[in-house]
Amino acid sequence: MFEVQSGLLMILSIVLFVVKGFALVDCVTRRPSQLDALDTLPKQTWLIILGLALAAHLVLWNPLGLLNLIGIVAALVYLAQVRGSVSR
């Protein structure tokens, strides 16, 4: 039973790491003017937040840790708010 739980946590951790990495790469490739047109944080602030979230995930691999949960919320907010608005 613990092997299944451990495997699911590993898969969840990898998926969340990929989501955070995708959000960071997407933010890096956006022009600052695209983010300035939206009513959101500046590009540099998003880069800091997403970079810290990804670094915290590398250090604390537990996907259910507080810092990792805060980081995934930040990445999902970026993807939903910023990437969703710019892509339209």
Residue 53 CA to residue 4 CA, distance in Å, equals 27
**Of 42, 28, 26, nearest to 87 (Cα)?**
26
Q: Which domain holds residue 6?
A: 2-87
Domain count, the chain: 1
Residue 1 pLDDT greater than 80, yes or no: no
Residue 42 CA to residue 36 CA, distance in Å, equals 6
Global confidence as pTM: 0.90
Q: What type of residue sits at position 47?
A: L
Residue 78 CA to residue 47 CA, distance in Å, equals 10
How far lies 26's CA from each of 15, 57, 60, 63, 81, in Å?
16, 18, 23, 22, 13
- Residue-wise pLDDT tens digits, 32-43: 988 888 888 999
